[in-house]
Structure 1
């Protein structure tokens, strides 16, 4: 289920844009919000994003000596925790397609005293610049919905996982609770852009982020996409009533 179609267009939020234009437009969004990204995450989620990420770490099975890839790692929340777990014999690569986000993440981790077992690489999830069978664990948190060709990205992640390695996709998803869904819509399309304008002086970027969540595949669809990419034992865990879901798959 790639977002692109035979007319060579794809979704940018609720709009249709040429495929080769989406990467630049998504990049512009994250160049704009990078400096306020952590603050906006806390405000947007009431701090709950920290719980979602902690659950992801707990479910990862990361151990000392592991090699881990944190795709769309942004400001490094997962990388920081993984760095402590894998220790000096392990390695964590913080990868992001956006150099502004990568710089913010690198500066934040260096300032926090994160160990020297972290590398920073600008990379496109659709064509990861790593050898086959490299990583024990790959995470992508709140990044897959911004990828133009999700099928290509999932196949690329599968390729660079070691046999037995685990892919974890943490992403906003679909809630089946009608009350929660109504509140979520009001929040996303009315309050969120105003928060973006007030805090980051950028309402449009946060309007796009809200729209991109609605265009992302639902839980079952994403699970099937992971299976199609070659992963097995694929399953998902809903959090906060399905507002967020953690998908997991294993490379056989």
Structure 2
């Protein structure tokens, strides 16, 4: 969210808007190599269940075309590749070349080839024609985008009529008690784990702060509706720590 002085938030800091892409890029360049390990440790492996549920809500079937934005190390892409089959296509898109390289290597090691293409792309200006994809996902990436409304509008543009967008993202816990516990975990344990495992506490401090700055469930629902998505709903998971938003283009 950016203000009239042309600044935006980077975690809890305010920085010039035109510097955010580079600032976020440095975070993910730093964490790319340990990203999968840290995801498992930080969530206790539960992120795999969140992603599995997202896949189950996608409605993706053989022959379709899927865009996995901020797809990072390719968890969703690998599963979509199997669902669409050789007659379909999955595009793994990420703005960060370090993350994209890790994802490309991981998919190759898994034998996921043929129907997957990797593209370095900014979610705010997706380099695809109108009405291209049957399904678009963005998992744990929207909070790092500078102009979220612009990115959502770009997604709506490249989605086919009848297609759906799935936004999996950290959100606002449903109770104050859970919120307090989560804050202690996020601001104390995450940076410590980042220092021990990835030798980078500051990047994980930013990631914790970026979660707190992300729009809550109802606000994000409204943002999706404002750019043209219809039948927008969301489902809280793990007490609202994570939410899955779903919207359709008609």
Common fold: TM-score over 0.5: yes
Question: 1:203 — aligned with what?
Answer: 201
SS at 2:83 equivalent: helix
Which of 174, 177, 180 aligns to 1:176? It is 174
Which of 217, 223, 226 aligns to 1:225? It is 223
Question: 1:165 — aligned with what?
Answer: 163
- Give the unaligned 5+ runs of structure 1: none
Question: 1:95 — aligned with what?
Answer: 93
**In 1, distance between residues paired with 2:69 and 2:203?**
21
Question: 1:106 — aligned with what?
Answer: 104
SS at 2:39 equivalent: helix
RMSD: 0.4
**In 2, distance between residues paired with 1:115 and 1:250?**
29
Question: 1:15 — aligned with what?
Answer: 13
SS at 1:189 equivalent: helix
Deviating more after overlay: 193-202 vs 110-119:
110-119
**In 2, distance between residues paired with 1:200 and 1:176?**
31
| 2:160 pairs with 1:126 | no
- Give the unaligned 5+ runs of structure 2: none
TM-score (norm 1): 0.99
SS at 2:161 equivalent: strand
Which of 59, 62, 71 aligns to 1:61? It is 59
TM-score (norm 2): 1.00
SS at 2:186 equivalent: helix
Q: Deviations over 1:121-147 (max 9, x none)?
A: 000000000000000000000000000
**In 1, distance between residues paired with 2:219 and 2:181?**
24
- Deviation of 1:4 after TM superposition, in Å, equals 0.8
| 2:84 pairs with 1:86 | yes
**How many pairs align?**
250
SS at 1:60 equivalent: coil
Q: State whether residues 74 and 104 of structure 1, in contact with CA within 8 Å, keep that contact through their aligned partners in structure 2.
A: yes
Deviating more after overlay: 68-77 vs 174-183:
174-183
- Deviation of 1:176 after TM superposition, in Å, equals 2.2
Q: State whether residues 84 and 115 of structure 1, in contact with CA within 8 Å, keep that contact through their aligned partners in structure 2.
A: no
**In 2, distance between residues paired with 1:148 and 1:14?**
14
**In 1, distance between residues paired with 2:207 and 2:79?**
25
